[in-house]
């Protein structure tokens, strides 16, 4: 009838009212249950004293990690990487304009600030040269020669996802850079892109271990048989956790990863805190000789530097045995290096930063007349052109980065690397989350990051008046001291002559 409410409308309203009453009742019941739980528990004082409301404290503490970098932190104040650093990598990887306007926001006054010394007559484009080629392992059956300046540091398949490994492999190949496998062994995804590869031998010997966990010559030969594998790196320690082996939570040890590593699936993968057979410099040289003899390829070691007297003992032992016995390269990791999982006590307090360890190692090689024989690779928070140029000034031959390439892949610094919940698909094995990372697209970004990095390091080099980056020297940069004045780096870390006595470096 006209003017009357249809029956189906009345039924719908009645149903909605019932649902509303039920929802309110369920909500009230839930609040009562939460209240009782909070006031009766004894583990968290906030919840006990402020039931229900106290729960928001933990929620805000969690989401604050993500909101801080977008809303509260200034461009250059966040740790471990600030917004300005991340933004540079994002722009370089996307191959968009990396110029800025108005003026720098960088504070030039803090102690340790680096500034490059521009030349009144900078290098013209017509005078610029190609990045010089460096040969590693001249006494090997298969030396490795490359002009690559900026390369992918060790990130294990397991610590990062298969799609991330694929993207890095293809991107490094496109840019002519090498890729370090990390200690997790050689996977098909490392080989897929066709890039040069540095195979890392960790303390657990993943990928080249026998049934007892020792080094297998047979498996070493199998790895060396891949033409893409150019060098072997013996990992002694890592910047973020010196004195402790790698940690891969059991939730990330899939059957595929377990097979590649030679370990049980689903169990925590904890590496020994050192190579059991290496207890002194002589035994380190023995291990290097074994791997080099079996593979015929260059072999070096990676270490974060803390105590440094052993470096002199190592160099003395090399001189006693002959320069052929020397490691073909040393990779120096910084105390502010990164990792997927490490105790905060090690990450925050142990080891020397690269600003101290790099000049120290270079100077010791020079003093022992081994600098030309042993190439120096440096890693640890070097993700911008200024970082790379500084390392070249001090004496590095090559720079590698892990977290820089994670940013190139889309990392948002969510700090979820030690879990299986990385929102960008980089450090997770959850297929749903991995869908967000397209290897083909990210490979191009990796390529752009490397190319733009090298180009801008060249810009710094040309401003300093040299034709190419590897011609940068310590006098091309200055460091601000405690008194607010800067000094040339070669006065803070004097250039040493072979045989010169060494002292520990100290910033003036």
Chain segment 45-100, per-residue pLDDT in tens: 767 787 888 787 666 666 665 565 555 555 555 667 677 887 888 889 989 888 77
pTM confidence score:
0.83
Tell me what percent of the residues of the chain surpass a pLDDT of 90: 48
Mean pLDDT along residues 168-191:
95
Chain segment 380-434, per-residue pLDDT in tens? 889 899 999 999 999 999 999 998 998 899 887 777 777 777 888 888 888 888 8
Q: Which of 38-42, 171-175, 270-274 has the highest mean pLDDT?
A: 171-175
In a domain, 478, yes or no: yes
pLDDT class of 506 with cuts at 50, 70, 90: very low
Chain segment 93-134, per-residue pLDDT in tens? 989 888 777 777 777 888 888 999 999 989 988 888 888 999
Comparing 340 with 473, which gets the higher pLDDT?
A: 473
Q: Of 28, 46, 72, which residue sits at a domain end?
A: 72
Chain segment 14-35, per-residue pLDDT in tens? 878 888 887 888 888 888 888 8
List C-alpha distances in Å: 345 to 285, 402, 470, 503: 30, 21, 36, 29
As a whole number of angstroms, the distance between CA 281 and CA 289 comes to 12
Q: Are residues 364 and 241 in the same domain?
A: yes
Residue 229 is predicted with a pLDDT of: 98
Instruction: For Cα atoms 332, 334, 335, give the angle at the middle one, nearest 5 degrees.
Output: 140
Task: Provide the token pair at 77.
Answer: 């104040």
In a domain, 116, yes or no: no
In a domain, 16, yes or no: yes
Q: Are residues 317 and 387 in the same domain?
A: yes
Tell me what percent of the residues of the chain surpass a pLDDT of 70: 88
Q: Are residues 154 and 252 in the same domain?
A: yes
Comparing 427 with 192, which gets the higher pLDDT?
A: 192
pLDDT class of 200 with cuts at 50, 70, 90: very high
Q: Are residues 136 and 250 in the same domain?
A: yes
As a whole number of angstroms, the distance between CA 233 and CA 183 comes to 9
In a domain, 102, yes or no: no
Q: Of 52, 72, 92, which residue sits at a domain end?
A: 72
Domain count, the chain: 2
Q: Are residues 68 and 171 in the same domain?
A: no
3-state helix, strand, coil split of the chain in percent (to 5) is: 45, 10, 45
Mean pLDDT along residues 448-467:
95
pLDDT class of 1 with cuts at 50, 70, 90: very low
Q: Are residues 60 and 167 in the same domain?
A: no
Burial label for 401, CB within 10 Å (0-12, 13-18, 19+), is buried
In a domain, 17, yes or no: yes
The phi-psi region of residue 436 (left if phi > 0; otherwise alpha if psi is between -120 and 50; otherwise beta) is: alpha
List C-alpha distances in Å: 131 to 218, 328, 451: 37, 21, 12
pLDDT class of 505 with cuts at 50, 70, 90: very low
Mean pLDDT along residues 294-305:
96
Comparing 197 with 39, which gets the higher pLDDT?
A: 197
Q: Are residues 62 and 137 in the same domain?
A: no
The residue assigned the tokens 């870390």 is: 493
Q: Are residues 464 and 387 in the same domain?
A: yes
As a whole number of angstroms, the distance between CA 110 and CA 477 comes to 16
Q: Are residues 473 and 369 in the same domain?
A: yes
pLDDT at 220 > cutoff 90:
yes
As a whole number of angstroms, the distance between CA 292 and CA 249 comes to 32
In a domain, 503, yes or no: no
Burial label for 26, CB within 10 Å (0-12, 13-18, 19+), is exposed
As a whole number of angstroms, the distance between CA 450 and CA 216 comes to 35
pLDDT at 266 > cutoff 60:
yes
User: For position 359, which CATH number holds?
Assistant: 3.20.20.70
Task: Provide the token pair at 352.
Answer: 């020397």
Q: Are residues 137 and 209 in the same domain?
A: yes
As a whole number of angstroms, the distance between CA 152 and CA 198 comes to 10
As a whole number of angstroms, the distance between CA 98 and CA 414 comes to 24
In a domain, 41, yes or no: yes
Cβ atoms 383, 132 nearer than 8 A: no
The residue assigned the tokens 């991330």 is: 164
Three-state SS at 24: helix
As a whole number of angstroms, the distance between CA 273 and CA 204 comes to 9
Residue 205 is predicted with a pLDDT of: 93
- DSSP letter assigned to residue 495: P
Average pLDDT, the chain: 86
Q: Which of 221, 231, 236, 235 is nearest to 137 (CA)?
A: 231
pLDDT class of 185 with cuts at 50, 70, 90: very high
Residue 241 is predicted with a pLDDT of: 66
Q: Are residues 267 and 379 in the same domain?
A: yes
In a domain, 110, yes or no: no
Structural domain boundaries, residue 400: 125-492
């Amino acid at each position: 009838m006209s003017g009357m409410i249809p029956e189906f409308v009345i039924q719908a309203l009645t149903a909605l009212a019932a649902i509303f009453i039920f929802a309110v009742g369920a909500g009230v019941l839930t609040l009562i249950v939460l209240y009782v739980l909070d006031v009766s528990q004894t583990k968290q004082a906030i919840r006990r004293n402020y039931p229900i409301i106290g729960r928001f404290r933990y929620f805000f503490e969690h989401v604050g990690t993500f909101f801080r970098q977008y809303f509260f932190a200034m461009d250059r104040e966040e740790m471990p990487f600030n917004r300005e650093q991340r933004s540079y990598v994002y722009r370089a990887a996307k191959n968009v304009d990396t110029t800025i306007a108005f003026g720098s926001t960088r504070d030039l006054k803090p102690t340790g600030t680096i500034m490059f010394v521009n030349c009144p007559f900078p290098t013209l484009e017509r005078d610029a040269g190609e990045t010089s080629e460096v040969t590693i392992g001249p006494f090997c059956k298969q030396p490795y020669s490359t002009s690559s300046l900026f390369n992918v540091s060790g990130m294990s398949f397991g610590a990062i996802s298969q799609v991330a490994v694929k993207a890095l492999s293809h991107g490094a190949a496109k840019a002519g850079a090498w890729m370090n496998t990390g200690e997790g062994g050689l996977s098909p995804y490392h080989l897929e892109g066709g890039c040069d590869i540095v195979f890392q031998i960790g303390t657990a010997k993943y990928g080249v271990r026998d049934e007892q966990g020792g080094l297998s010559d047979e498996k070493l030969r199998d790895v060396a048989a891949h033409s893409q594998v150019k060098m072997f790196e013996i990992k002694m320690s890592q910047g973020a956790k010196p004195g402790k082996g790698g940690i891969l939570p059991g939730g990330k040890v899939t059957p595929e990863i377990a097979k590649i590593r030679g370990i049980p699936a689903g169990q925590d993968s904890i590496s020994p805190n050192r190579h059991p057979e290496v207890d002194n410099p002589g035994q380190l040289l023995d291990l290097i000789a074994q791997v080099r003899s079996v593979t015929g390829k260059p072999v070096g070691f990676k270490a974060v530097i803390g105590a440094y007297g052993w470096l002199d003992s190592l160099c003395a032992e090399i001189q006693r045995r002959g320069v052929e016995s020397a490691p073909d390269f040393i990779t120096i990791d910084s105390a502010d290096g990164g990792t997927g999982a490490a105790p905060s006590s090690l990450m925050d307090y142990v080891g020397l930063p690269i600003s101290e360890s790099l000049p120290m190692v270079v100077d010791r090689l020079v003093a022992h007349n081994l600098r030309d024989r042993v190439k120096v690779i440096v890693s640890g928070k070097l993700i911008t052109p200024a970082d790379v140029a500084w390392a070249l000034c001090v004496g590095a031959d090559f720079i590698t980065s892990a977290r820089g390439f994670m940013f190139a892949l889309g990392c948002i610094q969510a700090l979820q690397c030690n879990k299986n919940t990385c929102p960008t698909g980089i450090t997770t094995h959850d297929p749903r989350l991995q869908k967000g990372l397209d290897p083909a697209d990210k490979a191009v970004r990796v390529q752009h990051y490397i190319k733009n990095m090298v180009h801008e390091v060249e810009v710094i080099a040309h401003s300093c008046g040299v034709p190419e980056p590897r011609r940068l020297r310590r006098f091309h940069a200055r460091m601000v001291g405690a008194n607010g004045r800067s000094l040339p780096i070669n006065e803070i870390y004097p250039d040493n002559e072979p045989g010169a006595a060494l002292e520990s470096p100290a910033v003036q």
